[in-house]
Amino acid sequence: MSMITEVLIQTLYYGVVMALSIGVLAFILKGFFWKFVKVRLSFGRLVMVKIRAINRDYYATGEIEENFLVYTDKSGKKKEKRIHVEDNSVFYKSLGVTWVDADAETNNLCKPDYNISSGFDAVKYNNLYVRALYSPQITDSTDKIIIALLCLTLLVSIGACIMAYMCFNNTTLLTVVINQLKDKIPTIVSGGAI
């Protein structure tokens, strides 16, 4: 065997050992490892959310959007939660990433000294937020004018289609009448009317 083949085989062995080690590490940490890697690779865009539950703590990746912490709670049902962040006192640094703790039952953010920041039902608030985003009210007068013009254009085009259909029927009727007249013209000529 050549030297390059031996080096490639040895590299493959190291790769297999590394992949198995990472897989075992991810299995032992029960989902923490990949979430931590995702937050670490986001370079500060994402935060690590530690959700404090009754029997155990679990982790999620969160994002700050317009003073709201948004994360998906995967404890039972996958629900997106949106919690208002009043100030930066709920964040802390650990393992090179930014962390925030959230209470699983009350949906409150917990400060690093285990005091609770005031909160509310994060799931219901997120549902209201999404509903408000997808059903905007039309309040601008130019929008109303544009919608009225679009409705008028739709009605005119429907009327034009009906008129074209009626003209087409009249044209087919006219061709039938012309064909019948062509059949009768030779009889009129031979009858001596001309």
Q: Does residue 47 fall inside a structural domain? A: yes
Q: Which domain holds residue 167?
A: 140-183
Do 128 and 147 share a domain, yes or no?
no
Give the model's pLDDT for residue 153: 93
Do 96 and 146 share a domain, yes or no?
no
Do 60 and 122 share a domain, yes or no?
yes
Give the model's pLDDT for residue 181: 78
Structural tokens at position 132: 């408000």
Q: Does residue 51 fall inside a structural domain? A: yes
Angstrom CA distances, 146 to 57, 135, 140, 151, 159, stand at 53, 18, 10, 9, 20
Backbone φ/ψ region at 148: left (φ over 0), alpha (ψ -120 to 50), beta? alpha
Residue 82: CB atoms within 10 Å: 21
Query: Which are the contacts of 52, defined by CB distance < 8 A and separation ≥ 6?
Result: 101, 102, 103, 104, 110
Phi and psi of 140, rounded to 5°? -80, 135
The count of C-alpha atoms lying within 13 angstroms of the C-alpha of 39, restricted to the half-sphere facing its C-beta, is 25
Do 54 and 68 share a domain, yes or no?
yes
Q: How wide is the angle at C-alpha 91 spanned by C-alphas 107 and 74, nearest 5°?
A: 40
Do 49 and 129 share a domain, yes or no?
yes
Number of domains present in the structure of the chain = 3
Do 155 and 126 share a domain, yes or no?
no
Write out the chain's pLDDT in tens, 194 residues.
688 888 888 899 999 999 999 888 888 887 788 888 888 888 888 888 888 878 878 888 888 888 888 888 776 567 778 887 887 778 888 888 888 888 777 777 887 776 666 655 556 666 666 676 776 666 677 888 888 899 999 999 999 888 888 877 777 777 877 887 777 776 555 555 54
The count of C-alpha atoms lying within 13 angstroms of the C-alpha of 9, restricted to the half-sphere facing its C-beta, is 6
Q: Does residue 192 fall inside a structural domain? A: no
Strands (DSSP E) found in the chain: 46-52, 57-65, 68-73, 79-84, 91-94, 97-103, 109-110
